[in-house]
Every structure is written in C-alpha cells, then in structure tokens.
Chains A and B, each alone.
Chain A
C-alpha cells in the first residue's frame, strides 16, 4: 500500500516570498492533516480536513497560511508571505476517520526561510 506522498522534500526561500506544499494521502483516507514541526518540538496541528471540508483550522495563521483540499483527495498548503519563524518541517498525515490514534505521516517538507 502506498503511503502519504509529499512534495517537495526540501525548499529554501527568502522571507516575504511565497511557497506551496503538496500532499497526497493514502487512498481511501477521508481525513487529512497538516502539521508544523519546528526543530526540537512536537508536531503542531495547523488544519484538519474531512473529505473536502475543514474540521479545524484554529491554529492556522490565516493571515499568511492557506490550505485547500478541493476534490477531497490531495491537498495544498500555501504560505504567503513567509517569515523567518516559518522555518520548520511541514508534515501531512491521513487517517480513515477523524480523531483516530493511528495517523499515517508523509516524509514532510523541510522549509528554510532566509
């Protein structure tokens, strides 16, 4: 079974530039999550989708971050404009149902903002 796919794996941008990350969850998983993991910290949930609807985006900095999952399958997370403190690994995860303990994570995108 194919796992969660993410691209790109690495990205380096200057502050104030924009960047987009892509995620393709495990086939059949209705729930998709985007997490931000800053070095030395645990993953922090940014947004959770159930099919193509947003379940929770309370921790998403909406002035600069946006995410969509238009067809209920793959998803895009965008940052515009980026700040230095956005440097982190952005992890996408999926699960069959919301709130289950077993979430399957992709390899992440490592973002460096200079």
Chain B
C-alpha cells in the first residue's frame, strides 16, 4: 500500500488566481496521476506525472492550465491556473506502487472558485 498526503484539503479561491496542490507519498513511485472529480461526477484523469520528464496530459487538459511538477519519486504538484468557477472540483492524486496493479488515492483537495 501507500500513504499519500495531499495539501491543501480544501480552499476557496478568487477567479483568475492560481492554486498549487501538493502530493507527498511515503514510498518511491514511478508514476503519479492527477484526477479531477467535478460535482456529482466521476473521476477524470488529468495527467500522468513521471519523474524526470514532462507530464502526459489527457485529451481536454493542457499544460498551460494545469502545469505539473515532479521533482522526485515521492512528490508532485498540480497547479490550477487562471481559475474560473468551472474549475470548482475535487482534485486527487493517485499512485500505483509495487507492480502497479493497485491505485491508491490521496484525501483530495476540494477547490471552490468564486
């Protein structure tokens, strides 16, 4: 298993500003994943963060809006840039330690943009 610490747990932000979400894992993992869960919806993968290379973004998500850093094998950040109310969601980081067959999630960051 993996213990994931995600910060902040929640925030209320003004439109046009940016928020950086941090994800810390208690073990080294090759890939970290960032998901978004909009109100009443399921989880949608934003991007995959690999250490030492650019993040890989899913269709509909772009680096300018969601820049990601992955400085080492236990840490990643996701920034939500130039926020609008449509960005109000829960953002979750996820890792798949070991053989990669199980995914574990952080506690999530509940973002409200006003």
The answer to whether A and B come from one shared complex is: no
